[in-house]
Amino acid sequence: MDTQALLKKVRRIEIKTRRLSNHLFSGEYHSSFKGRGMAFSEVRRYEYGDDIRAIDWNVTAKLNEPYIKVFEEERELTLMLMVDVSGSENFGSKMQLKREMITEICATLAFSAIQNNDKVGLIFFSDKVEKFIPPAKGKSHTLRLIRELIEFKPQSSKTNIGEALRFFSAFQKRRAIVFVLSDFMDNRYRDALKIASRKHDLTGIRIYDPREEDLPNLGLLPMRDPESGKISWVNTSSSKLRSKMRQRFAEFNKYYRESFLRSGAGDLTIRIDQSYPAALLSYFKKRSR
């Protein structure tokens, strides 16, 4: 994509997603995430009048005198966007590709965050971490993220969500708001998800195409595996094949829902021919109750 075309696309996404974040999501984002927790600051000796519920019993036992935990309000939060850029994200049978919807959702979340003076960072992953953009503030930083989302080309076409979550858990020490955007066609991330969600406010946003859920009967078709690149002829009139595809989709869906439920993380599923603003708004309102 040439520079002029890229800038036009960035501008078009900026106009659309900023309007959404200004009129729909900024208040909901704020009430869902802002000021919901207290960050650990330090321990100090217990003083008369301190709340005994704040006593750190481990430190107290080691030093043989009472110490309490001191917390401070989390006024500045960090939003991390973890984006799957594997080959399967370049599929779309309707109006747009899964990756295009992911880009718009990321832009909407980023603009909502910067309106609250929060930092925003970005991780691209396939079966490895492809690129990491550290969290920062401001409109220019957000526009850079959008440019990267539009034009980034991964080295690998495969998927390993667990690897990305392990990378994130290793570098992000302070609590963060995390959105993992993927089709979640993977079943090896449950343990890594549990670890990451213990410390961070984590939400999975699963984007899928209706043709992945139910393959239509269109006869003999050439199909390219998005992750291996292999092209083969597929007989879509075979009821056995279509049943197998539905079962595969259902298995990934079940693993996704069970994994997020067990880890205590939030989850949201959006089909690419449906309204992502309505789905996000409903999710934010549900959280803020």
* DSSP SS3 for 276: helix
Question: Which alpha helices (DSSP H) does 69-171 contain, by range?
Answer: 98-115, 139-151, 161-171
Give me the domains of the chain, ranges plus CATH numbers: 3-34+75-288 (3.40.50.410), 38-73 (no CATH)
Average pLDDT score over residue span 92-120: 86
8 A C-beta contact, residue 69 and residue 56: yes
The CA-based angle 190-280-79, given to 5 degrees, is 65
The CA-based angle 84-210-265, given to 5 degrees, is 45
Average pLDDT score over residue span 79-101: 85
Task: Give, for 257, the enclosing helix (H) or strand (E).
Answer: helix 239-263
Tell me the pTM.
0.80
The residue among 288 and 53 whose pLDDT is bigger is 53
Integer angstrom CA distances of residue 7 from 35, 96, 148, 192, 285: 35, 19, 12, 37, 33
Confidence band of 27 (pLDDT split at 50, 70, 90): low
Integer angstrom CA distances of residue 130 from 127, 217, 223, 237, 248: 8, 37, 26, 38, 27
- Cβ neighbour number for residue 12 with a 10 Å cutoff: 10
230-244 residue pLDDT tens: 777 777 777 887 888
197-209 residue pLDDT tens: 999 999 999 999 9
